[in-house]
Chains A and B, each alone.
Chain A
C-alpha cells in the first residue's frame, strides 16, 4: 500500500519531529533554557501587602547581577525605567495586580505571561548597551498600547 518513497518521507518526517524533541529536551533540561514556568501562588488582591511585591524595585545581588521585583497593572510597570551596566544578569520576579499581562522586552528573548494569582520569574543577561523597550504583549484593556517602559543598559 505504501510506496518506497512514501516510507522514506514518513521516516524523515518522524525523525524530524523526534529531532525537534531531543534538541528541545536537551535545551530545556540540560542547558536550563526552558520557558518561564515559575509557579508560586499569591493573593492577586493583596499584592501590595505581600513580600517581595510590597517593595518593588531593583536590587543588586552580586557582581553584575540584579534582581528586579516588578508588578504589572493597567497600564504600567512598577518600577519603570530600569538602569543596569552592560554585561549584567537580571532576574525578574513578576506578578499582576489585576488582569493577565505579558512581559516582553524587544530584541531579547524575554517573554513571559504574567497571570494574577501567580508569581512568574525570568532571567536575561544584557550584553549590548542600549535602551530596551519593555512592553505588555497581552491585550489588557483600553490603554494596552501605552503599557511600556524601558531598560537602559550602559
Chain B
C-alpha cells in the first residue's frame, strides 16, 4: 500500500480511474460501513427514547423511576445530536474523500479507526452515568449542575475522537494537493474540509469548558464560573448543528443534481457558500444567550447580526437548488412556469428524501431567523417552539438528507445495489417521516407560542387552566412520535438490508459535473489558511468582549449541585 501512495501523479490518475470503475477499496468501505452502522443503531435507540418522551409529554405514559424523563431526554439528545450526526457525517465524508482523492492514505485510515474507537469508548463512558441517573444534565450540561466526572471524561474522548478524524481528513487533502499542484480540491472533499475545519475549531470551546468542569466535578476545585462555561458551550453547541446542516448542504449541491441526471450549480458560488458558512458559523451560537443576564444590549445586538448573517449563504443555496431542479427538468422537456416539476424523479427515494429535506429548510430557516432576533427570541426562548425548530432543521433537513444518501451510499460501500422494493420502501418511509415530523414539529411550534416549556416532563402545574389548555396540542407529539418510530424501523431495516443482504453489484458514487460552459473557478477559493484566519478574527470579535467581562468581573463562583 505504502508504495502505491508514493507513486507519481500518473499512477494517481490511474488510481482515481480504477477507484471510479471498481468502486471503493475494501478497507475504506469497511471504515464507512462501521461508521454508518453506529449511526443507524444510534437512531434506532434514540428513536425509541424519543417515542417514550412523546408519549410522556402527551400525558399517556408515566416513565418508571429507574428510567425517568430526564435520563431519557439526556440520552436522546446525545444519541441523535452527537452520535448519529457525527458518525454519519464522518462515514459519508470519509467515503467521499476516498472516492474523490483516490483512496484514503493508510495513516489516515488508521487515524479514522482510532477516532472511531475513541468516540465509541467516550460514548459508553458518558452513557453509563446517564443510565445510573448520575448524569441527567442534558446535552447542554450547564454548570452548576454537576454530573458524575465519568460523564465529562466520556465527552473528552468523543471530542478527541472527532479531532482524529478532522486531522486525518486534513492530511489526506494536503497530500492530494501536493500531488496535484494547481488543481482545485474536488468539490465533495472541499465540503469535507469545511466540515472538519468547523468540527475542529468549533469543539475547542467545549473542550476548554469540559477541562474546567472535570476538576470541579471531582471536587478538586470548589467553584466554577457559570457564565464562562455557558458561553463556551454555545460557541460549540450551535456550530455542531450547523455542521450537520453543512453536511446535508454538500449532498444538495453535489449529489442530488447527479441523481436527477443534471449538472451541479456554479462551482465558484458553491465554494463561496462553503467558505461563508465556515467563517461565520461559530459566532452564531450566541443567540442562545439573548435573554441571559450579564451581556449588554449592544453586544447582543452585534450577535443578532452575526447570527442572521448565516442566513445569507442559506438563501443563496435556496436559489441554487431550485435553479438546478428547473434547469434539469427543462432539459428533459419540462414546460411551463412550474409545470417542469413533473419531470423530476419523484419516485426515486435518493431524490425524494433530500428534496423534502430541502423544502423543510424553508420554514425551518425562516423560523431560525425569527428566533435569533432579540425580541422574538424572548417570546419563544426555551419553549417547545425551539424543540419544534430543531426537529424541523435536524430531524427533517439533515436527517432526511442522510436517509436519502443511505440508499446509494450503503450499496456503494457494501458493493451491492438498491433494489426497486427497497426504493419503494424508502419512498413510503419518506412519506411517513414527513407526516410524522410535520405533525410533531407543527404542534411543538404552536404550543411553544402558547408558552409550553421545553425539557419538562408532563405537568399540569397543579391543574393550572393555562397548562391544561396545552394538552390537545401535546397529544400530537404522541401521534407524530409514533409515525416517526415506524419510520425509524423502516429506515434501519433498509440500511441493514442494503448493507448485508441486497443483491451484489456495483453502485455509483454520484457526483455531478459542472456545466460545460462554466468559467474556471479562481484560485483564491483554495486559500484555506486565510479562511481560518478570517474565522478566528470573527470569533475574536464576537467572544473576546463578553468572555473577558465574565472573567474579569466574575461574581463568586458556584459549587456543584446534583438536583435530580
Q: Does B336 contact A (CB under 8 A)?
A: no
Knowing A21-B304, A137-B383, A142-B563 are in contact, say whether A36-B145 is a contact too (CB < 8 A).
Answer: no
Say how far A12's CB is from chain B's closest CB, in angstroms. 9
Chain A positions 104 through 137: 1 when the CB is less than 8 Å from some CB of chain B, otherwise 0? 1011010111111111100000000001110111
Q: Does A42 contact B (CB under 8 A)?
A: yes
Number of interface residues of A (CB under 8 A): 64
Chain A neighbourhood of B295, CB < 8 A: 37, 39
Say how far A5's CB is from chain B's closest CB, in angstroms. 8
Would you list which residues of chain B between 433 and 478 have a CB under 8 Å from chain A? 450-451, 453-459, 461-462, 464-467
Say how far A40's CB is from chain B's closest CB, in angstroms. 8
Determine whether the beta carbon of B382 is less than 8 Å from that of A1.
no
Would you list which residues of chain B between 122 and 151 have a CB under 8 Å from chain A? 136, 138, 142, 144-145
Q: Does B316 contact A (CB under 8 A)?
A: yes
Q: Does B1 contact A (CB under 8 A)?
A: no
The CA of A119 and the CA of B456, in the complex, are separated in Å by: 24
Determine whether the beta carbon of A109 is less than 8 Å from that of B378.
yes
Chain A positions 39 through 60: 1 when the CB is less than 8 Å from some CB of chain B, otherwise 0? 1011111100000000000000
Determine whether the beta carbon of A117 is less than 8 Å from that of B315.
no
Chain B neighbourhood of A17, CB < 8 A: 308-309, 311-312, 369
The CA of A95 and the CA of B457, in the complex, are separated in Å by: 24
Q: Does B33 contact A (CB under 8 A)?
A: no
Say how far A57's CB is from chain B's closest CB, in angstroms. 21
Say how far A38's CB is from chain B's closest CB, in angstroms. 6
Chain B neighbourhood of A65, CB < 8 A: none
The CA of A81 and the CA of B291, in the complex, are separated in Å by: 24
Knowing A99-B563, A113-B291 are in contact, say whether A45-B556 is a contact too (CB < 8 A).
Answer: yes
Chain A positions 9 through 20: 1 when the CB is less than 8 Å from some CB of chain B, otherwise 0? 110011001001
Chain B neighbourhood of A44, CB < 8 A: 144, 226, 555-558
* Residue of B266, B450, B455, B561 touching A98 (CB-CB under 8 A): B561
The CA of A9 and the CA of B442, in the complex, are separated in Å by: 28
Say how far A24's CB is from chain B's closest CB, in angstroms. 5
Chain B neighbourhood of A145, CB < 8 A: 69, 456-459
Determine whether the beta carbon of B308 is less than 8 Å from that of A99.
no
The CA of A70 and the CA of B244, in the complex, are separated in Å by: 40
Determine whether the beta carbon of A109 is less than 8 Å from that of B563.
no
The CA of A43 and the CA of B558, in the complex, are separated in Å by: 9
Determine whether the beta carbon of B68 is less than 8 Å from that of A142.
yes
Determine whether the beta carbon of B563 is less than 8 Å from that of A74.
yes
**A residues engaging B (CB < 8 A)?**
1-3, 6, 9-10, 13-14, 17, 20-21, 24-25, 27-29, 33-39, 41-46, 74, 98-100, 102, 104, 106-107, 109, 111-120, 131-133, 135-142, 144-146, 148, 150
